Amino acid sequence: MSHRNLLTMGRHLTEIDPIGPKDRYVSFLPFAWIGEQMLAVACGLSNGVTISFPEDSATQRSDLREIGPDVMFSPPRIWESMLSEVQVRIDEAGWLKRKVFGWGYDTGDKVAAMRVSGKKPGPGLALTHKLADAVATRPVRDQLGLARIKRGYTGGAPLGPDVFRFFHAIGVNLKQLYGQTEICGIAVVHRDDDIAFNTVGSPIPGTDMRITDDGEILLRSASVFRGYHRNPEATAEAVDADGWLHTGDAGYIDESTGQLVVIDRQKDVLTAADGTRYSSAFIENKLKFSPYVEEAVVFAPSDEPGDAGGMTALITLDPGTVGSWAEHERLSYTTYTDLAAKDEVYDLVAEEITRANEDLPETIRVQRFVLLHKQLDPDDDEITRTRKVRRNVIADRYGEIISALHRGDDKVHIRSRVTYQDGSSVERDLGLAIFDLTAYTIPQGRGRRPVWSGRR
């Protein structure tokens, strides 16, 4: 990539969202990622933005609050973890604070729904919202370090519509970016008054976009890269003679908004038995909206003999929210592995997945799941540093568990190496339960939990 590529992208983005020397930006993501090159380097240096760096990874959240950035960019996992933090804090608060925040959130949600479609609330609602913001939602933004935020961006992977909506309800102008490293990270973005929670927006100035007959997204602009280093064959495959970048992503234009909807990588788009085209990532985002689920990896039925059919999922817990729930329920445990094996925790997650299934077509609902005995770790190459799951590594490393899910077994036995804090490690035999949701029903009379809470 050339400096011209990056500077052109930065100029076109700031035509939509101007930034300048008085704006603050906190850089805490790796510069090896195009997203940080895009905002901290290209936009930051060319516009004189004040850029701050956290003192340490452990102080990132407190530094963010101290600085109070005007602009922020993070992958979905950061926004999801912020939501989980809010849910834990609200659940630990007294009943009065919970009631006040619930009222403030509902008010903010109404105003946000109007604002993102270019409408203005009436005088009464506007006044109520000002009060709700002062006593309920602004204190939450302040705790997250977002009290001064003018706009936040997310990109690198799809963000679930429910998480997206939550941040708008508490007053964060969050927008989705879409692009690739080969086009300097951004080609499509939401406009302030035209945001749809299931889309990624429309092309930035200077960018052309079209969808091929087979659904592939093509992009063309002055920000398209010069080529792969010493690999002209791969370059020719990525950029055709007319300058179109073949992204390898499948998508379509939403008829009601005219904005781009990204399904997934073309090779990862699947077709259900009834002809429904779907993405595993879409289902995974539905599951990850639960405060108790840190990561979810969904698998379609295999063609192997003996496959029980139906979608299956490998789940890892969010230790913070599940630990807080266990403490509230007076459920004792020692380690993450011990917590993930508890029947009560399986029931907790089963209800969350069942709720998520209600919003999905019947043919792509999750029917069986297992709680993994460990969290996915970037040091083990299971996820990237920006929290994208490496599906090929998961499929290889946990093949035995995935096969048991496909067969419909009720348990799977594995050997796993457990490393302790003192650096010692030991091989252990573990039995992981497989939960069958087809025989599960939510207890009668139990309503949905609020979006902002982990409590039923």
What pLDDT, on a 0 to 100 scale, did the predictor assign at position 456?
64
pLDDT tens across 62-78, in order?
Answer: 999 999 999 999 988 89
pLDDT tens across 250-285, in order?
Answer: 999 998 899 999 988 888 888 777 777 788 888 998
What pLDDT, on a 0 to 100 scale, did the predictor assign at position 8?
95
The band of 402, judged by pLDDT with boundaries at 50, 70 and 90, is very high
Query: Are both 287 and 365 inside the same structural domain?
Result: yes
pLDDT tens across 105-142, in order?
Answer: 999 999 999 988 888 999 999 999 999 999 999 999 99
What pLDDT, on a 0 to 100 scale, did the predictor assign at position 427?
81
* C-alpha closest to that of 187 among 174, 212, 205: 205
Residue 79 token pair: 């926004």
Q: Is the pLDDT of residue 408 over 70?
A: yes
Residue 417 token pair: 């190496």
CATH code of the domain containing 167: 3.40.50.980
Query: Are both 110 and 225 inside the same structural domain?
Result: no
pLDDT tens across 291-348, in order?
Answer: 899 999 999 988 788 888 899 999 999 998 899 899 989 999 988 999 999 999 999 9
Q: Is 37 exposed, middle or buried (0-12, 13-18, 19+ CB in 10 A)?
A: buried
CATH code of the domain containing 368: 3.30.300.30
Segment 392-414 shows an average pLDDT of 93
What pLDDT, on a 0 to 100 scale, did the predictor assign at position 264?
86
Segment 415-424 shows an average pLDDT of 70
- Residue 23 in 3-state DSSP? coil
pLDDT tens across 382-401, in order?
Answer: 988 777 889 899 999 999 99
Which residue range(s) make up the domain with 228?
A: 201-265
Q: Classify residue 196: in a domain, yes or no.
A: no
pTM, two decimals, is 0.83
Query: Are both 126 and 243 inside the same structural domain?
Result: no
Residue 266 dihedral angles phi and psi, to the nearest 5°: -55, -40
The band of 420, judged by pLDDT with boundaries at 50, 70 and 90, is low
Query: Are both 389 and 367 inside the same structural domain?
Result: yes
Query: Are both 252 and 279 inside the same structural domain?
Result: no
What pLDDT, on a 0 to 100 scale, did the predictor assign at position 450?
84
CA 170 to chain centroid: 18
Q: Is the pLDDT of residue 20 over 90?
A: yes
Query: Are both 311 and 392 inside the same structural domain?
Result: yes
Higher pLDDT, 159 or 243: 243
What pLDDT, on a 0 to 100 scale, did the predictor assign at position 421?
59
pLDDT tens across 149-203, in order?
Answer: 999 999 988 888 888 999 999 999 999 999 999 999 999 999 998 999 989 999 9
pLDDT tens across 186-197, in order?
Answer: 999 999 989 999
Count the domains in the chain: 3
Which residues share a beta bridge with 370?
Answer: 314, 434
- Among the three residues 213, 232, 265, which one is the final residue of a domain in this structure? 265
d(CA 405, CA 409): 6
Query: Are both 433 and 350 inside the same structural domain?
Result: yes
Task: Encode 199-238: b = buried (16+ Cβ within 10 Å), e = exposed.
Answer: bbbbbbeebebeeeeeebbbbbbbbbbeeeeeeeeeeeeb
Query: Are both 11 and 60 inside the same structural domain?
Result: yes
Q: Is the pLDDT of residue 418 over 70?
A: no
- Among the three residues 265, 284, 299, which one is the final residue of a domain in this structure? 265
What pLDDT, on a 0 to 100 scale, did the predictor assign at position 295?
94
DSSP E strand boundaries for 254-291:
260-265, 269-271, 277-279
Which residues share a beta bridge with 189?
Answer: 177, 202
What ranges in 223-279 are assigned the alpha helix state H? Answer: 232-238
Query: Are both 253 and 284 inside the same structural domain?
Result: no
What pLDDT, on a 0 to 100 scale, did the predictor assign at position 125?
96
Query: Are both 251 and 281 inside the same structural domain?
Result: no
